[in-house]
Amino acid sequence: MSTETTASVSTHILDTSIGRPAASVAVSLAARSGDDAPYVTLGTSATDADGRCKNLPALPEGTTHVRLGFDTGTYFVKKQAEAQQDAPRVRDSGAFFPEVAITFAVTPGEHFHVPLLLNPFGYSVYRGS
């Protein structure tokens, strides 16, 4: 029998506006098996103090595409409230991107680490190791 028939996924978030990990960001994981199949939400988690999401659910066998969803709006609203306690000032309310959804193709047996580099007005992702 095959030892690894499914892909695996991990992620972490770095808030590049402060040069630190983004803690307590809600993350959802969805997957589908084929171009025409609907996405099925497999579970949710949140980043830890190091910005890492360590308990994402396993992908089902046959997964071809994965979608990671990040609740960035709630994270930035909380960060803005903390910043205003230290130095009150007028800023835009919320985040320009209230959520980030990253969709990517996977190959059975491979691990996909997808870091999110985040700031209030932009983001970048890449396939890490």
The CA distance from 30 to 38, in Å, is: 10
Render pLDDT for 53-80 as a digit per residue (tens, 0 to 9). Answer: 989 999 999 999 999 999 999 999 888 7
Mean pLDDT of all residues in the chain? Answer: 89
Q: At 2, is the pLDDT very low, low, confident or very high (cuts 50, 70, 90)?
A: very low
Please give the CATH number for the structural domain made up of 8-125.
Answer: 2.60.40.180
Arithmetic mean of pLDDT, 17-33: 96
Arithmetic mean of pLDDT, 70-99: 74
Arithmetic mean of pLDDT, 7-34: 96
So where are the chain's domains? 8-125
User: Residue 84: phi, psi to the nearest 5?
Assistant: -70, -25
Q: What is the DSSP letter of 97?
A: S
Q: What is the CA radius of gyration of the chain?
A: 16
pLDDT tops 90 at residue 45: yes
